[in-house]
């Protein structure tokens, strides 16, 4: 038997004349003998159809042979691959999540430190095999610090943390090691952008790499001031501004939003506050920068929509403001029975 090439395995197969191939495929599928993990091989007027049991196929009257067949990964999962190869013991496999994020060409998977250390490279290899676009894989830990940056461990592929992610056709530069970015927020970025009108002035107080600002400027001829305390985030936003054709203007500003009302002279039609752990602390500054009738979109962690609304109303009331809540939306799960909510309000 010939030597199999990269991505191929030697497998038992039924040899069917091309003229009868469809019919034989149907019969083998009905008998439950098709090996769906390998592709049929066409050679010398015959189609070799991989089967799971050569003896059974022969008993059923088919001519059989062993051929080199290309692996077919359609429908396969990376955990399925790991299980099949017995590279990870079942009790460890049970601790590996079935899903992961892809940011640009980098995959991020939540792995416990001991699993990442011992089995990280097998996990990364399986992910890259199923997703050829992925060039680097990192195990991700919690987000930490003021900049809300992920603790990362490289487990496979290139050791690179800067990439370009696409959201709704927008190219967003992301440095996964040095700035916050969550691809699950794509719809939320879009929803906020849709609330903005041409000519509006928008302040994003915790812009990160600037996804809200980019979505808004893509959709509307609005002006966005995007502040972040993290220089890496602002550098990425500047890079994204070079990558996209936008209708609006985005002005990246590196600095502390606590001082926003002393830095900025104008008032805004929308203020976005996506810093769920401490956004309420910044509420008085945000309210001073909001024009009469302007909209505030504040993100915070709460156990229910009612709690989120109450927290915002109480804090605004203590600062002497009366707000009309126009929407409370659950955006992301944060912990068991804790979510990140967005409370959108209007000033009187």
| Tokens linked to 136 | 């680097």
Q: List the one residue from 107, 155, 207, 234 that touches ligand SAM (CB under 6 A).
A: 207
- Secondary structure of the chain: what % helix, strand, coil (to 5)? 35, 35, 30
Determine if 275 is a binding residue for ligand SAM (CB under 6 A).
yes
Q: In terms of CB distance, is 45 or 142 closer to ligand SAM?
A: 142
Taking contact as CB under 6 A, which single stretch among the options 3-11, 93-101, 195-203, 250-258 is the one that binds ligand SAM?
Answer: 250-258
- CA–CA gap between residue 160 and residue 198 (Å, rounded): 38
Residues in 69-108 at the binding interface with ligand SAM, rule: CB under 6 A: none
Q: List the one residue from 233, 234, 236, 285 that touches ligand SAM (CB under 6 A).
A: 233
Determine if 229 is a binding residue for ligand SAM (CB under 6 A).
yes
Taking contact as CB under 6 A, which single stretch among the options 38-46, 158-166, 255-263, 329-337 is the one that binds ligand SAM?
Answer: 255-263
| Tokens linked to 111 | 């792995």
Q: How far is the CB of 107 from ligand SAM (least distance, A)?
A: 19
| Tokens linked to 180 | 């916050």
Determine if 180 is a binding residue for ligand SAM (CB under 6 A).
yes
Determine if 208 is a binding residue for ligand SAM (CB under 6 A).
yes
Residues in 118-157 at the binding interface with ligand SAM, rule: CB under 6 A: 146-148
From the number of C-beta atoms within 10 Å of its C-beta (0-12, 13-18, 19+), residue 283 rates as: buried
Cβ partners under 8 Å of residue 271, min gap 6: 202, 203, 204, 205, 286, 289, 290, 294, 295, 296, 297
Q: List the one residue from 64, 269, 274, 345 that touches ligand SAM (CB under 6 A).
A: 274
Q: How far is the CB of 207 from ligand SAM (least distance, A)?
A: 6
Cβ partners under 8 Å of residue 122, min gap 6: 82, 85, 87, 88
Q: How far is the CB of 257 from ligand SAM (least distance, A)?
A: 4
Q: In terms of CB distance, is 13 or 260 closer to ligand SAM?
A: 260
Residue 335, strand partner residues: 338
From the number of C-beta atoms within 10 Å of its C-beta (0-12, 13-18, 19+), residue 92 rates as: middle
Q: In terms of CB distance, is 37 or 150 closer to ligand SAM?
A: 150
Q: List the one residue from 20, 247, 251, 258 that touches ligand SAM (CB under 6 A).
A: 258
Looking from the CA of 201 toward its CB, the CA atoms found within 13 Å total 11
Please report the DSSP string for 316-336 in residue order: HHHTT--EEEEEEEEEEEEET
Q: In terms of CB distance, is 155 or 179 closer to ligand SAM?
A: 179
Taking contact as CB under 6 A, which single stretch among the options 65-73, 200-208, 286-294, 336-344 is the one that binds ligand SAM?
Answer: 200-208
Residue 31 φ then ψ, to 5° = -80, -5
**Number of residues lying near ligand SAM (CB under 6 A):** 22
Nearest residue to ligand SAM, scored by beta-carbon proximity: 208
Cβ partners under 8 Å of residue 178, min gap 6: 147, 149, 161, 230, 232, 233
Determine if 256 is a binding residue for ligand SAM (CB under 6 A).
yes
**If residue 209 lies in a helix (H) or strand (E), which one and from where to where?**
none
Determine if 212 is a binding residue for ligand SAM (CB under 6 A).
yes
Q: List the one residue from 64, 223, 230, 240 that touches ligand SAM (CB under 6 A).
A: 230
Determine if 166 is a binding residue for ligand SAM (CB under 6 A).
no
Positions in the binding site for ligand SAM (CB under 6 A): 146-148, 180-182, 185, 206-208, 211-212, 227-230, 233, 256-258, 274-275
């Amino acid at each position: 038997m010939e030597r199999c090439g990269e991505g191929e395995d030697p497998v038992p197969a039924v040899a069917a004349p091309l003229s009868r191939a469809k019919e034989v495929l149907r019969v083998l599928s009905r008998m439950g003998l098709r090996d769906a993990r390998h592709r049929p091989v066409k050679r010398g007027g015959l189609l070799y159809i991989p089967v799971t049991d050569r003896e059974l196929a022969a008993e059923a009257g088919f001519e059989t042979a062993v051929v080199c067949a290309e692996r077919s990964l359609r429908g396969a999962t990376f955990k399925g691959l790991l299980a099949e190869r017995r590279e990870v013991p079942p009790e460890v496999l049970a601790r590996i999540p079935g899903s992961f994020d892809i940011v640009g060409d980098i995959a991020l998977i939540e792995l416990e430190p001991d699993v990442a250390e011992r089995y990280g490279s097998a996990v990364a290899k399986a992910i890259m095999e199923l997703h050829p676009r992925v060039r680097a894989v990192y195990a991700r830990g919690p987000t930490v610090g003021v900049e809300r940056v992920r603790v990362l461990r490289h487990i496979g592929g290139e050791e690179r943390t800067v990439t370009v992610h696409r959201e709704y056709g927008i190219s967003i530069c992301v440095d996964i090691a040095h700035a916050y970015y969550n691809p699950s927020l794509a719809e939320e970025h879009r929803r906020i952008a849709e609330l903005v009108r041409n000519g509006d002035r928008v302040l994003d107080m915790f812009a990160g790499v600037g996804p809200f600002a980019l979505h808004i400027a893509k959709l509307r001829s609005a002006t966005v001031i995007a502040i972040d305390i993290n220089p890496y985030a602002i550098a990425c936003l500047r890079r994204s501004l070079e990558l996209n054709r936008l209708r609006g203007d985005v002005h990246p500003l590196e600095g502390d939003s606590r001082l926003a009302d002393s830095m900025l002279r104008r008032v805004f039609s929308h203020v976005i506050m996506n810093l769920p752990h401490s956004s309420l602390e910044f509420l008085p500054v945000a309210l001073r920068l909001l024009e009469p009738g302007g909209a505030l979109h504040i993100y915070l962690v709460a156990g229910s929509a009612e709690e989120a609304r109450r927290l915002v109303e109480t804090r605004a009331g203590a600062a002497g403001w009366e707000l009309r809540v126009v929407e409370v939306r659950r955006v992301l799960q944060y912990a068991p029975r804790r979510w990140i909510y967005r409370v959108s309000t209007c000033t009187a």
